[in-house]
Structure 1
């Protein structure tokens, strides 16, 4: 099975940690297509100062597909906690940046790091151009920058009405387009809806390739709503937002979590204005998608997130259904 997983942030890397164990026995070909519009933290500083695509989400996905116990993987995850210039920077981000400057090619830098860490799969950015995410809110405000969009949303005075990239005509790498067209299964999510998943779909080449692809397309809905982005959203609201960006329905199935976090975890999240996403299965079915509904929570963390192994098991169930 040829699989493309698309997104960014911790959501995509969490999924990759689980499904990498299916390579190569079940997944003959695994590709992660990753957003590069982040403008916060170490990634944002590097992007601003060196004028290269944000490396942070790429680095997260590379280490997710690498060997967990490998010392080199730990080195790439290392984040400096001191030093005036280094504090807050991830070593992996810096290494990717150095390679990009030496080779003059962001794609080549990613391939080199992937080879060093012997990752199970391939990482391709949705674009190798420096892009900004821009959103128009329901109060008429236009906010530029991934971090700034989320911060404005946290004021809870308006919702995102429209979102786009600047420049709007950025190109996708040919590798990304071909992987999508050759895929048998395309997975979107989990991850921040407007700042991790949708930025990939805003690259016209990526969107068109997804619509042209004959792959089975599934969306993994988040466990919790995200403060400043998806406040009050149900699972079907997430799907509607994806359809609005793409211009028409395109999903075959949606994965939703039915597990309920412990009260102490919910209370912690609600202090941060986040709550469990309602799995409104009836609305999803009426939208014409197949629903895979299971308890996918990771009970070993003090967080409400997907369990990578449970996700991988459910992906295997989807693959089995496709083969029947």
Structure 2
């Protein structure tokens, strides 16, 4: 597995990370045994950058990773770079949320995450969503105190504006910004990617496969009742029909090059910017192995330009999230 570096500390991480959210929530039923096997295979492939959050499965996702870390021993812990997040507060059975960035909440959320993960230190601790009612200096100051206390190694922000990143960086170095970035979610290209490069901040791309829609294998009519993709505007109604045409064009591009849609979508991200680290999520070893192979795919400048044009933002239909999901996104 090829490597990239994380933040100003230049922490080496796999060029592709692993998004663990779907092992606990949002994508229908999951199986802990299957997920634990997938985590083991990820390590064997060299995928050592794992992403979770306290809100995923209401703590279940962190606890799942904690089980794996505890049973695997201290040598494995040294290999892993574990990222988790605070800030989204939800009630079980509800998608709606409120955002809490207060210092007291940050401290208590960190302690809870440390317990569930069964670690002494969180490698990368993100503010999951911003609440503008809490001054940036106050929130980042509280996160910096966690670094000083040895509970967190580096800090990050998720779904913030370039202006917020600059303001936060004036308080404490920001190792990473995590936001949605993929062929059909290009907003970071407007300003954020350049700002990250200037500040030495890594950009972690979540949902790089468009929540599986870009793979061309997603049957939206067969989604489980508790799969949150059933409410996503981009893959429902007329928007889905329009976007399906883009995915079909991607499939033809990939077939000519002997690759899958997913591999091309990930290779495109890796070729766009050296400070971007995609974190595709999966529960299945088969998809994990296919995704890992994307790091060996070479795209020419012409290939990248063709994909850029194929998925030009004005060709993509529908919003990324329903209104409730946009809370805290700058």
Name the TM tier (shorter chain): 0.3 to 0.5
Q: Using structure 1 for the length normalisation, give the TM-score.
A: 0.36
- Determine which structure has greater relative contact order: mean sequence separation of CA pairs < 8 Å that are 6+ residues apart, divided by chain length: 2
- The structure whose residues are more often helix, as a share, is 2
Q: Using structure 2 for the length normalisation, give the TM-score.
A: 0.36
